Amino acid sequence: MKQYLAFTQRFLLLVTPLLASTALTAAPSRAATFSSSEATLDLIDLSTSFSTLESQNLGTTLAVANGGIVNAQNINAVANVTPDPLEVYTRATSLASGDSKDYFGTADATAKIVGNFDVDPGQLFSFNFTSALDLETSIDNPPTENASASGKLAFYLLDTTNIPENNLPNFLSDLLSNPTDSNLQNPLDFFSFTGYVNTVGNNDFITTQKSANVTLAEDKEFTFGGTQEFATDFIEGSLQRSFNRKTNLTLIALRSTQVKVAAPEPSNSLAVLLLFGLLAVAKGKWRVESRE
């Protein structure tokens, strides 16, 4: 028994500093995270006026702070159409920030603008556009903290000539409420501009896709990796095309921004597992010494 007590004392003298060090390593530290996504899409100089026009602008936020401080918000989220001069304009900024430990925050803003119009045979259909996306993330303590930001700007030009006139309102309403890949397949023309940055992982990107009738000039800057990341891209472009028959067209413009910050509550499970492991070793050694 004395041998067991002596071994236990030596065991605790050895383990206590190690457990204290492990606990300090796992203990939450005061830190800060930040994420921002700003997106702007402006369609100007449209050659044809809309006969039907609808828009939708939505935003959601979530902030859960169990032991820290977190803030999530959408600002300047608009989806506007002006008649004279005819202009389609949408923009939004989503922001999230956190401080200390054990929090989670998200903010996202989406907008959809759908316009329908007729184009006569031989008539040139055209418009100019500008598009800008700015993403920023920052954390203090990787990998326990995380911040991500993403954004998308796009427009799709659809040929809706074959949709019966009495079914067209329902089609436009469905397109506004749920512009899925299925009803955006095979567009006449399109432009898509997406970006994503995440302080954890190597899947950051910023990319542009377009159809043949879309021309553009692009100015891009980005820094990926590390505790601070950003991606900024500004695009100017135009769309021009004509038709050899009377054509009904539908134009949909999309904008979305999403941000997230998180700092989960660290766990002392490593220290607990280490303690149980060392106790098991101690018990085994005591049994050996007792038999001896």
Cis geometry, peptide bond prior to residue 143 (ω within 30 degrees of 0) = yes
Question: DSSP letter string over 236-277?
Answer: EEEEEEE-SS-EEEEEEEEEEEEEEEEEPPP--HHHHHHHHH
- Asked whether residue 97 carries a pLDDT value surpassing 50, the answer given is yes
**pLDDT value for 292:** 45
- At 184-224, the pLDDT tens digits run 778 999 999 999 999 987 789 999 999 999 999 999 898 88
* 73 half-sphere exposure, CB direction, 13 A CA radius: 6
Which among 144, 146, 140, 68 has a CA at the least distance from the CA of 103? Answer: 68
Residue among 53, 256, 46, 254 at smallest CA distance from 156:
254
pTM (2 decimals)? Answer: 0.78
CB neighbours of residue 186 within 10 Å: 8
User: Which is more confident, 272 or 22?
Assistant: 272
Neighbours of 75 (CB within 10 A): 12
Sheet strand arrangement including 228-242: 69-83, 86-99, 32-44, 124-139, 228-242, 214-223
Decide: helix, strand or coil at residue 102: coil
What pLDDT was estimated at residue 205?
Answer: 92
- The band of 104, judged by pLDDT with boundaries at 50, 70 and 90, is very high
Q: Is residue 280 within a helix (H) or strand (E), and if so which, with residue range? A: helix 269-291
Classify 169 as helix, strand or coil.
Answer: helix
User: How many residues are given for the chain?
Assistant: 292
- pLDDT tens column, 231-286: 999 999 999 999 999 999 999 999 999 999 999 865 443 444 444 454 454 444 44
